[in-house]
Structures are given as C-alpha cells and as structure tokens.
C-alpha cells in the first residue's frame, strides 16, 4: 500500500498554475526523487504536501489520512517532516536546541507545567536532550551541538535541518534540494546520511537538482515541468525519456 | 545550555542566591522609606518586563501597548477594592484574570500582524485603553483618578509600611522571574525562540504558531496585570497618567537595553531605567537640582542609552555581562584542578 498518495493536485497563483493535476504514490521504505527545471512547481508541491499551501483541487492521503486542510504543525504530528530550500533554522539557538525544537511533537511540557516544573518535566527534558543529541550524531553533527546554527557553514546547516526534521520522528521526510550549495565531498556525505535515514525505516521524498545524487540514491523519480508531471519511473528509464531530455534541454537553452 | 551543566550553572545559582538574600535583608539593615518605595517601583517594572521579555524578547512579538495591561490590572484591582470591598488577594487574582482576557482580546485579531503592523495595532490598543480609563468616569474616576485603594492585607494582617510593601512586591518579582525562567529554559521557551527566528521552521517542527502566540500574549498580559494590581495597592491612588504610551515605550526600551533573548538582562534593564529618574534614592546626597535635571531629561536619557546600546552592545546588557564574565574567567588561573 502506498504511504503517500497524491491525486490530481492543482495549485494556482493567480493566473499561474504552479502545480497542474499531479498524481503519484510513494511507498514505504522508498527514496523517491522529484526533479524538474526551476519553476517547475516542486517547492509548491512540497508546500501542498506539508500543509503550507492549500491546493485548489486534488487530494493528498498520508497513511490513510487526508492531509489537505491540515495546518502544517498537524501534518508534522501525523508523521511528515520537511526541510526547506532556503534553510529555516533558528540561527541564535545552538544546533542541539534546534534539534530539541524538532522534538516538539513528541514531547508535552506546556507553559503551565514548565513554569512550575511539574513532576515529569525534568525527565521529559532529559530524554528529549538525549534524542536530539542522537539525531545530531546520525547526520554527523555530534561535534557541533553547542554551536549556534547561524555560525555553522552552509553544508552543515543543511544537515542540521535534516537532523531537526528527523527529531520529529517522521515516517516520511520531504527534503527540498538538500544538496544545493554543497561541494562534492559534502554531497557524498549527504548521500550517506540519506541511506542511514532510510535504514531507520523512514521514507524519503527528495527534490534535487544534483543529477549524480538523484541517479545514485533514488529508487524512483517523478519529473515535473511547468507544473505537470511529464514522467515517472526508475532512474535508468528517466535518463532516456525523450520528454525529460527535452524539458532539460529547453532549460539549458533558456539559461544560455 | 542543558548539555553542559556544572560550573556556569553553579555560579549562576550562587549569584541568584546572593541577590535574593541581599534584597530580602535590605529593609532590615537599611530601612529608608523613600529607597524602599523606589525599589518597589523597580520591582513592579521588573514584573511587567519579565512578561514583555517573553512576548517581545523571546517570541519576537512587539507590544507598544503593555501599559494598557498594567492599567487594566491596576483599575480592576482598585475598583474592586474601593467600590466593592473585595479582599486584597481576590483583587490581585481578578486583576490577573482580567488582564489575561485583555491579552486574549488583543492577541486574536492581531495574530497575522508582524513587525510595524503589530506595533501599530498594540499601540492603538494602548491608546484605546487609555481613553477608556479617562472616559469611564463612573468606574475609574476619570482623569481625577481613583483614590482610597487600601493597602494589601491578608486577613487581619495589613501591609502598610514601606518595608512590608517592598518585601511583598519583591516576593512577587521572585515568583514571576522563577515562572518565566522555567518557561524559557524548557520546551515552551524554545518554541517562543523558534517562532521568533522562523515561523515556517517552527511550524515544520510541529509548533502551533497561532496557539503559541496567543499563549505568550496572555501570559505576558497577566504579568503586567499582576504588576498593575501591586502598584494600585502600593500607592493607594491611580489615574490614567500612570498608563500612557510613554510607559509602554519605556518598557520596550528596558527589554532592548537588557537584551532581547535574556530574562535576566530584561530585569536588569528595568532596574537601570527605573532608577535613573529616581537616582537620589540610591545615591545619597545628590542635589535636588541634579534629580530634577534627570527627571526633566528622562526621555532623552533613555533615547541616548538605547542608541548607544544598539550601536555598541547589540545583545544589550546581558550580552555585555556575558562578555565580561568570559573575560574574568579567562583571566583567572585554570579552575579545573583547583576545584577537583
Ligand atoms: N507564493 C507564490 N506566489 C506566486 N507565485 C508563486 C508562489 N510560489 C511559487 N510561485 C510560482 O510558482 C511556480 C513554481 O515555483 P516553485 O514551486 O518554487 O518551483 P521549483 O521549486 O520547482 O523551482 C514559479 O513560477 C513561481 O514563481
Ligand atoms: Mg524550489
């Protein structure tokens, strides 16, 4: 059964159809990639899948539950975590504190019980710290836990955002261009982290421009162009797909 | 940070204990009524600023209307005591509840507003409250104010003296700082800071941004209301001129001066800025002329301090103190062997 079922999702901004009747499925344990030229609608699609945007049409079913209409924090609590194309870290907080915020959906202490340090608060805090530290180690940031997120170099910021998403204990993770701005050794380390996440039993949906990385890690690829899905399939077939080649050639000509 | 307790945390506890003991002992060693009164006003401002620090310093939601919550607390307490004869403790509780409701009323419609727009909306709220204090003559006594508010009392025990009022105010300061300190140290405090840094990031961590904003507004307003109630029973007379926009701005200035993400800094900011126009209370032998100058130029002095802090000490007094502590630590011989 599919973990995430996207059906005929359409999102418009005024006259522009950013996502146009897109449908696909993601199965448990997969790494699925979403590729497409700039402006193809990948980020908008992610925003729809995580409750940040409400589509004009279509349904998104995660583990049998309708996601459309849920607010973002509800989607996370349901088990879908995400990162952002432009990292949305809490810069003045340490790496560990960032990951601790990620523990939010799995912890309970509210203003009232915190203010009085009611019984159970200290224990929950200690466990949260342990879990947060664990996710930092998983992405290779174990040595940076007390460094403010704003002081981390770009590559490590991307990893920290992944750690923070992991800390929410998701079943599905959506990563928006995790390799953007990484050098080749950082990209290799990232691929390693993606495998480790999959080994934890977490399903991955990854928007990525780095074709080397996409072809290496993904089990399955969805190609978007101008909001529409133009192809879907395993990497070796996608590479040869004429529609895909044309979409990318078009982009290169436009860039030149 | 939680990951590394120990030395830093211990020296912090020692510092807090020293401050508590000094404040508690003061009226017994040096009982000057004027000084104690000024320090009571300092304490009242520390309570308001503790709440404003949560709202503005931590969660990044500016309020230029906090004098309104302070006023709502003061009038609720004063009116219930004078016109309905409620016991003091019930007046305090009512003041907190009514200001909390005020916070809720302001928070809900302004949820989507940020930055300047939120500043304008809260400023308007403050002005509306001020006009209400002036115009609702039948309840508030209008521009002439409300007098005859009784001193705090618990059963037969009436707190009339400057000493007892000072101790009462600072007891509440301690409670407010303890509660707020616990909030910022734990999960909800991290949610506030996350919200401040990136709303999208906070939502992606499962934080209900709307709920969190409303909560912090309400907590912040309640603390201002508590302070207002303490003020009303301390001075016995309140009038709208105590709850103006100028006060709201001064409160924001205290948070900025102290340091945005620091409760202790904000408290220190409140102490410093409240003492300036009353400097003669702590500096014996100051000439009346100098005090007069300080009071006449109060707003200008605040302005200059703020500009200097923002230019040269971006993190406020808290960051300045942190740097100083680091410098002192580095100059001391390595402590590890000595302590072990
Ligand atoms: N909030 C928005 N308002 C208006 N147009 C938008 C908005 N977000 C995205 N778009 C437009 O939607 C299209 C798809 O954008 P996006 O999803 O960011 O593409 P991608 O992530 O594939 O590069 C682009 O033309 C973009 O300009
Ligand atoms: Mg994008």
Compute the distance between CA of residue A49 and CA of residue A227 in angstroms, rounded to an integer: 15
pLDDT band at residue A192 using 50, 70 and 90 as cut-offs: very high
| Domain membership of residue B184 as a residue range | 35-244
User: Which of A168, A197, A213 marks a domain boundary?
Assistant: A168
Contacts of A184 (CB under 8 A, 6+ apart): none
User: Per the domain annotation, does A112 fall within a domain?
Assistant: yes
| Nearest-angstrom CA–CA distance, B168 and B227 | 11
For residues B280 and B172, give the distance between their C-alpha atoms in angstroms, rounded to a whole number.
Answer: 25
| Residues A157 and A42 placed together within one structural domain of the fold | no
User: Is B50:B255 a contact under the CB 8 Å cutoff?
Assistant: no
Query: Is residue A177 located within the same domain as residue A131?
Result: no
Average pLDDT over residues A65-92: 97
Other CB atoms within 10 A of residue B259 CB:
26
Distance A19 CA to ligand 1 centre (A): 9
Ligand closest to CA A227: 1
Chain A nearest-CA residue for B179 = A115
- Binning pLDDT at 50, 70 and 90, where does residue A252 land? low
Phi and psi of B314, rounded to 5°?
-55, -30
Residue A45 alpha carbon, nearest atom of ligand 1: 17
User: Which residues in chain A have Cβ-Cβ distances shorter than 8 Å to B185?
Assistant: 114
Residue B171 lies in a domain: yes
Residue B83 lies in a domain: yes
Best interface-test mutation with B: which of A47, A51, A73, A98 has the largest number of B CBs within 10 A? A73
Chain-chain contact of B1 with A110 (C-beta, under 8 angstroms): no
pLDDT at A55 over 80: yes
Same-domain pairing of A70 and A176: yes
Cα–Cα distance between A88 and A85 in angstroms, integer?
9
- Whether A241 is in a domain gets the answer yes
* Closest ligand relative to A42 C-alpha: 1
CATH code, A226: 3.40.50.300
The whole-angstrom separation of Cα B157 and Cα B164 is 11
- Statement to judge: residues A13 and A124 lie in one domain: no
| A85 within domain boundaries | no
CB contacts of B4 in chain A (<8 Å) are 146
Distance (Å, whole) CA A93 – CA A107? 19
Per-residue model confidence (pLDDT) at position B323:
82
Position with higher pLDDT, A11 vs B278:
A11
Pairwise CA distance, residues B269 & B327, whole Å: 22
Q: What ipTM was reported for this prediction?
A: 0.94
A150 part of a folded domain: yes
* Closest chain B residue to the Cα of A174, Cα to Cα: B204
* Ligand 1 pocket test, candidate residues A11, A12, A13, most atoms within 8 A of CB: A13
Nearest to B190 among A72, A101, A146 (CB): A101
Any domain includes B324: no
Mean pLDDT of A234-244: 91
- B94: DSSP letter: H
Q: Residue B2: its pLDDT value, please?
A: 43
Burial of A86 (0-12, 13-18, 19+ CB in 10 A): exposed
Kindly identify which residue of chain B lies nearest to residue A150, measuring between CA atoms. B197
Q: How far apart are CA B49 and CA B224, in angstroms?
A: 8
Domain span at residue A134 reads 94-168
What is the number of structural domains in chain B?
1
Virtual torsion, Cα A77, A83, A89, A90, nearest 10 deg? 0
Interface test mutation site (partner A, options B103, B189, B206, max chain A beta carbons within 10 A): B206
Task: Say yes or no: A63 and A178 in one domain.
Answer: yes
The A-side interface with B (CB below 8 A) comprises 50, 52, 71-73, 76-77, 81-84, 88-94, 96-97, 100-105, 107, 109-111, 114-117, 121, 124-125, 128-129, 133, 145-146, 164-165, 168
Whole-angstrom Cα distance, residue B29 to residue B130? Answer: 40
- Would you state the structure tokens that stand for residue A206, as one six-digit string? 């990854």
Q: Are residues A174 and A74 in the same domain?
A: yes
Q: Which chain B residue has the Cα nearest residue A118?
A: B182
The closest-lying atom of ligand 1 relative to the alpha carbon of residue A207 is 21
Residue B255 falls inside a structural domain: no
Per-residue pLDDT tens over the stretch B5-51? 577 788 888 988 999 999 988 888 888 889 999 999 999 999 999 99
Q: Which atom of ligand 1 is nearest to the CA of A44?
A: 17
Kindly state the tokens that stand for A189. Answer: 């380390």
| Cα B214 from Cα B134, distance rounded (Å) | 28
b/e map A61-79, b = 16+ CB within 10 Å? bbbeeebbebebbbbbbbb
Query: Does residue B108 fall inside a structural domain?
Result: yes
Query: Structurally, how many domains does chain A consist of?
Result: 2
The CB of A37 under 6 Å from ligand 1? The reply is no
Which residues fall inside 5 Å of ion ligand 2, going by CB?
A: A 43, 85
Q: Please check whether residue B209 touches A, CB under 8 A.
A: yes
Q: Using the 3D structure, point to which of A168, A194, A228 is the last residue of a domain.
A: A168
Residue B57 within any structural domain of the chain: yes
Entry field: residues in chain B: 340
Task: Please say if the pLDDT value at position A255 is more than 60.
Answer: no
**Below-50 pLDDT ranges, chain B:** 1-3, 336-340
Closest by Cα among A206, A215, A254 to A236: A215
3-state class (DSSP) for residue A107: coil
Q: Which residues contact B126 (CB under 8 A, 6 or more apart)?
A: B64, B65, B66, B67, B68, B245, B248
Other beta carbons less than 10 A from residue B196's beta carbon: 20
Instruction: Please check whether residue A84 lies inside any domain of the structure.
Output: no
- Of residues A52, A90, A116, nearest to B194 (C-beta): A90
**Do both A163 and A177 map to the same domain?**
no
- Position B193 in a domain: yes
Q: Do A22 and A6 touch, CB atoms closer than 8 A?
A: yes
pLDDT tens for A155-172 read 999 999 999 999 999 999
Question: CA-CA distance, B214 to B208, in Å (whole number)?
Answer: 10
Pocket lining: A18 vs ligand 1, CB cutoff 6 Å: yes
The verdict on A49 and A112 lying in the same domain is no
Q: Is residue B182 assigned to a domain?
A: yes
Q: To probe the interface with A, which of B187, B213, B214 has the most A CB atoms within 10 Å? A: B187
A51 and A8 inside one domain: yes
**Pocket of ligand 1 contains residue A39 by CB under 6 Å:** yes
In the DSSP assignment, the letter for residue A148 is: B
Match 């309970």 to its residue by tokens.
A108
Closest partner residue to B205 among A102, A125, A128, by Cβ?
A102
Tens of pLDDT, residue by residue over A201-237, are 999 999 998 989 999 999 999 999 999 999 999 999 9
**Across the interface, do B261 and A76 touch by the CB < 8 Å criterion?**
no
């Amino acid at each position: 059964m599919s973990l995430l079922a996207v059906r005929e999702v359409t999102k418009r901004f005024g006259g522009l159809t950013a996502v146009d009747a897109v449908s696909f499925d993601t199965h448990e344990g997969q790494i699925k990639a979403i590729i497409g030229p700039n402006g193809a609608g990948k980020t908008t699609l992610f925003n729809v899948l995580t409750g940040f945007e409400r589509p004009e049409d279509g349904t998104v079913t995660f583990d049998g539950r309708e996601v459309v209409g849920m607010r973002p924090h509800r989607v996370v609590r349901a088990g879908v975590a995400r990162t952002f194309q432009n990292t949305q870290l809490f810069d003045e907080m340490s790496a560990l504190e960032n990951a601790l915020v990620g523990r939010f959906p799995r912890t309970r202490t509210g203003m009232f019980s915190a203010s009085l340090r009611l019984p159970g608060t200290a224990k929950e805090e200690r466990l949260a710290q342990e879990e947060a530290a664990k996710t930092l180690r998983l992405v290779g940031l174990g040595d940076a836990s007390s460094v403010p997120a704003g002081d981390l170099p770009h590559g490590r910021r991307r990893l920290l955002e992944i750690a923070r998403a992991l800390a929410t204990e998701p079943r599905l993770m959506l990563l928006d261009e995790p390799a953007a701005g990484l050098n080749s050794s950082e990209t290799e380390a990232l691929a390693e982290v993606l495998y480790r996440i999959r080994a934890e039993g977490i399903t991955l949906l990854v928007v990525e421009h780095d074709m080397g990385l996409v072809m290496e890690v993904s089990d399955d690829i969805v190609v978007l162009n101008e909001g529409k899905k133009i192809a879907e399939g395993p990497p070796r077939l996608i590479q040869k797909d004429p529609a895909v080649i044309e979409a990318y050639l078009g982009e290169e000509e436009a860039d030149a | 940070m939680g990951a590394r307790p120990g030395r830093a945390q211990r020296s912090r506890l020692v510092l807090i204990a020293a401050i508590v003991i000094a404040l508690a002992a003061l009226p017994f060693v040096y009982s000057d009524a004027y000084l104690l009164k000024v320090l009571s006003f300092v304490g009242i401002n520390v309570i308001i600023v503790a709440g404003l620090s949560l709202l503005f310093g931590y969660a990044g939601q500016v309020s230029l209307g906090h004098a309104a919550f302070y006023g709502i607390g003061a009038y609720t307490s004063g009116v219930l005591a004078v016109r309905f004869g409620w016991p003091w403790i019930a007046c305090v509780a009512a003041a907190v509840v009514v200001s909390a409701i005020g916070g809720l009323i302001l928070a809900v419609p302004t949820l989507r507003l940020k930055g300047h727009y939120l500043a304008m909306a809260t400023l308007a709220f403050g002005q509306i409250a001020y006009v209400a204090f002036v115009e609702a003559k039948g309840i508030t006594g209008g521009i002439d104010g409300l007098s005859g508010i009784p001193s705090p009392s618990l059963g037969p025990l009436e707190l009339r003296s400057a000493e007892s009022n000072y101790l009462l105010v600072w007891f509440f300061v301690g409670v407010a700082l303890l509660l707020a300190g616990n909030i910022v140290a734990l999960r909800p405090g991290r949610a506030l800071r996350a919200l401040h840094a990136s709303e999208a990031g906070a939502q992606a961590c499962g934080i209900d941004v709307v709920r969190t904003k409303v909560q912090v507004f309400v907590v912040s307003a309640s603390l201002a209301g508590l302070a207002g109630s303490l003020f009303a029973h301390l001075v016995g007379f309140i009038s709208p001129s105590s709850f103006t926009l100028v006060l709201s701005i001064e409160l924001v200035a205290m948070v900025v001066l102290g340091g945005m993400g620091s409760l202790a800094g904000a408290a220190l900011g409140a102490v410093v800025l409240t003492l300036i126009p009353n400097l003669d209370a702590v500096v014996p032998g100051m000439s009346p002329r100098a005090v007069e100058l300080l009071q006449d130029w109060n707003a200008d002095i605040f302005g200059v301090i703020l500009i200097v802090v923002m230019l040269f000490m971006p993190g406020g007094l808290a960051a300045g103190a942190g740097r100083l502590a680091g410098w002192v630590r580095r100059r001391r011989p390595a402590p590890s062997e000595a302590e072990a």
